[in-house]
Amino acid sequence: MKQVTIISGKGGTGKTSITAALAANQGNAIFTDCDVDAADLYLLLTPNIQKTHTFPGAPIAQIDQQKCTSCGICESLCRFDAIQQKDGVFQVVEFNCEGCKLCMHACPANAISMQQPENSEWYESDTRFGPMIHAHLGIGEDLSGKLVSQLRERAREVAKERNAGLILTDGPPGVGCPVIASITGADLGVVITEPTMSGLNDLKRVVDLAEYFHIPLKVVVNKYDLNKSMTDKIEKYCQESNLELIARIPYDKIFLEAMVEQKTLSEYAPENSINDIIQDIHKAIQ
Ligand code: SF4
Ligand code: SF4
């Protein structure tokens, strides 16, 4: 069983549309949406949820006002300004709390406990192309890396149960913690970039990250014809960096139209020539 993660240096490169187009070409695969901060693969694969799991968020301090003696120790110790006094009442500002537990241990009245919100969920679903593991991250939650690891772990289990040959993952954009969680242990990363200066710079950052984790990469330039000279620069960078540029996809509003119809490219426009490019990407991944 192989694991392939589709990533991009930033959002808006067409990563999810291309992932969905590839999903439609796969047989015997598991699909994972690890872009948990802005999950949208579900729009195209329209999963039918079979199992729902709650995902505990980061612990947040909570003050029992019945026990609190208003000594103010917690407020003076919290370096994140997460405990504030208002009208003589000490309260936790939840968005500021980093869950370090210092206040809990320091409170002489034993009035502080840690609570784990349960406003994130992850799902095991069926789609018309195969099983899908995906999630909904609660508002304000920042444990996306941990949630990504949870999704990938379950995807590997399902792949084993179903004897699937591939886990195809829609990864998050950027180079942060969720991206690291999405590519760790992957057999291949496919970077979707676009022909802009920021696209090239973001590609370089992703390449540095993947090198650090020893993940082989291949590159796709989406909307390459919007700036051909920049596409040439990206191609030159790939050559100098020993990276295989496996496809150039022209700009086509067909991807947007397909998304509006909740269809993959091959379903919405089977005659469109970009389907041949998707096949080339599929073969390069194989
Ligand atoms: S340290 Fe404990 S008792 Fe003191 S203000 Fe904070 S919660 Fe109240
Ligand atoms: S857990 Fe840490 S960050 Fe949160 S309120 Fe207590 S001291 Fe501040």
From 63, 83, 142, give the residue whose CB has the most ligand 2 atoms within 8 Å, as the site to mutate.
83
Q: Look up tokens 């969680």; give the residue.
A: 181
Residue 119 is predicted with a pLDDT of: 82
**Strand, helix or coil for residue 201:** helix
What class is the 60-115 domain? Answer: alpha beta
Residue 25 is predicted with a pLDDT of: 85
Residue 109 is predicted with a pLDDT of: 97
Residue 10 is predicted with a pLDDT of: 76
For residue 109, which atom of ligand 1 is closest to its CA? 3
From 83, 90, 93, give the residue whose CB has the most ligand 1 atoms within 8 Å, as the site to mutate.
90
Side-chain-side CA neighbours of 181 within 13 Å: the count stands at: 20
CA distance 88 to 35: 42
CA distance 40 to 24: 16
**Per-residue pLDDT tens digits of the chain, which is 286 residues long:** 999 999 987 777 889 999 999 999 888 899 999 988 888 899 999 999 999 999 888 899 999 999 999 999 999 999 999 999 998 899 999 989 999 999 999 999 999 999 988 888 999 999 999 999 999 888 777 778 888 999 999 999 999 999 999 999 999 888 888 889 999 999 999 999 999 999 999 999 999 999 999 999 999 999 999 999 999 999 999 999 999 999 999 999 999 999 999 999 999 999 999 999 999 999 999 8
| Whether the predicted model's global pTM rises above the 0.75 cut | yes
Q: Where are the beta strands (DSSP E) in 138-254?
A: 166-173, 188-193, 217-222, 244-249
What class is the 2-56+120-285 domain? Answer: alpha beta
CA distance 1 to 211: 22
CA distance 48 to 42: 9
Residue 177 is predicted with a pLDDT of: 86
Q: Judge if 2-56+120-285 and 60-115 fold alike in CATH terms.
A: no
Tell me, using a 6 A CB cutoff, whether residue 175 lines ligand 2.
no
CA distance 124 to 56: 17
Where do the structural domains in the chain lie, given as residue ranges? Answer: 2-56+120-285, 60-115
CA distance 100 to 169: 32
Residue 236 is predicted with a pLDDT of: 97
Tell me, using a 6 A CB cutoff, whether residue 107 lines ligand 2.
no
Tell me, using a 6 A CB cutoff, whether residue 137 lines ligand 2.
no
Tell me, using a 6 A CB cutoff, whether residue 151 lines ligand 2.
no
Nearest CA to ligand 2 atom 4: 97
Q: Closest Cα to residue 172, out of 193, 151, 148, 143? A: 148
Residue 143 is predicted with a pLDDT of: 72
Tell me, using a 6 A CB cutoff, whether residue 99 lines ligand 2.
yes
Ligand 2 geometric centre to CA of 21 (Å)? 45
The residues, any chain, with a CB within 8 Å of residue 1's CB and separated by 6 or more, are: 156, 159, 160, 164, 165, 166, 167
